[in-house]
Amino acid sequence: MAAGTRYRSTEGLVPLIQELRKLDQKLANKTLKAAGKKASQLIETSLKRNTPKAKKKNKQYRGSPHLRDTMRTRSRSYNRGRAIVFLIGPESGKSPHAHLVERGTRRRFTGHSTVYQKTRTGNKVFRRVAFTTKTGKQRTKRILVDESKKKSTGSFRDPNKGGVRNRGIMPAFRMVERTNRETRQGVLRIIRKDIEAAIRNYQSGSNGNH
């Protein structure tokens, strides 16, 4: 789960990025990375604000951090810095339930499992078919016609878990969806402003790399 914004050429960013890259590729990489960091901070702040925080945690989870506190920003560069991806979301491995908070759940039960067992659909039946080897010799081989398959035999109550207990329905908080709506225009403004400033500085000769 991650929050982010995709840029469309109709919003004027793609032509600006292309113009900056034509002027100076290194300057473009540096500008986009800096603008991405600013935009990511805006998204991360909004995402934390939209993420619910329980007033009281279950006993078995008291030692783990709240979902809101695991939000981090990570960046990845590809193609020598020409493509930069920022990932904003829960720190890896610390919030495996994040997607449930975002999308909600159906009615859930504890102590409920599904058991699988191999069941034979019939006796194993082979038939011989003829084939030609690479050296041109005629041979025959056996092909299995019928084989065992795996299918569910239904659910059962695990006595070690104390039977089935209804855990209710978790509502969908949609924090990523709300964050994308709230920050989209702000992210685009930040990136557009930084790109336009870099182009002006380059053209006026005030940029040190020019």
Q: pLDDT per residue over 100-126, tens digit each?
A: 889 988 877 665 554 444 444 455 656
Residues 92-124 as b or e (16 or more Cβ within 10 Å = b): eeebeebeebbeeeeeeeeeeeeeeeeeeeeee
Check whether residue 158 and residue 195 sit in a common domain.
Answer: no
- Asked if residue 183 has pLDDT above 80, the reply is yes
Q: Residue 142's beta-bridge partner residues?
A: 128
Q: What is the mean pLDDT of residues 131-158?
A: 61
**pLDDT of 18-43, one tens digit each?**
999 999 999 999 999 999 999 999 99
* Pair (121, 199) in one structural domain: no
- Spatial CA neighbour of 161 closest among 117, 116, 109: 109
* Residue 67 sits in the same domain as residue 164: no
CB 2 within 8 A of CB 75: no
Residues 13, 25: one domain? Answer: yes
In this prediction, residue 63 carries a pLDDT of: 72
pLDDT value at position 14? 87
Q: Do 87 and 41 belong to one domain?
A: yes
Report the pLDDT value the prediction gives residue 36, as an integer from 0 to 100.
92
| Residues 93, 150 within the same domain | no
| Residue 108 dihedral angles phi and psi, to the nearest 5° | -115, 150
Residues 138 and 175 in one domain: no
Residues 157 and 182 in one domain: no
pLDDT at 4 over 60: no
Q: In the structure, what pLDDT confidence band is assigned to residue 198 with cuts at 50, 70 and 90? A: very high
Q: What is the predicted pLDDT for the residue at 9?
A: 43
192 and 100 belong to one structural domain: yes
Poorest-pLDDT segment among 31-45, 66-80, 153-167: 153-167
Q: Do residues 156 and 198 both lie within one domain?
A: no
Pick the residue with more confidence: 167 or 93?
A: 93
Residues 94 and 198 reside in one and the same domain: yes
Rounded Cα–Cα distance for residues 35 and 24 (Å): 16
Report helix angle 175-204 to 25-50, nearest 10: 150
Domain, as residue range, for 44: 1-105+171-210
Interatomic CA distance for residues 180 and 190, integer angstroms: 15
Please name the helix (run of DSSP H) or strand (run of DSSP E) that holds residue 180, with its range, or none.
helix 175-204
Q: Are 123 and 96 members of one domain?
A: no
- Domain count within the chain: 2
Reading the block at residue 165, the tokens are: 């207990």
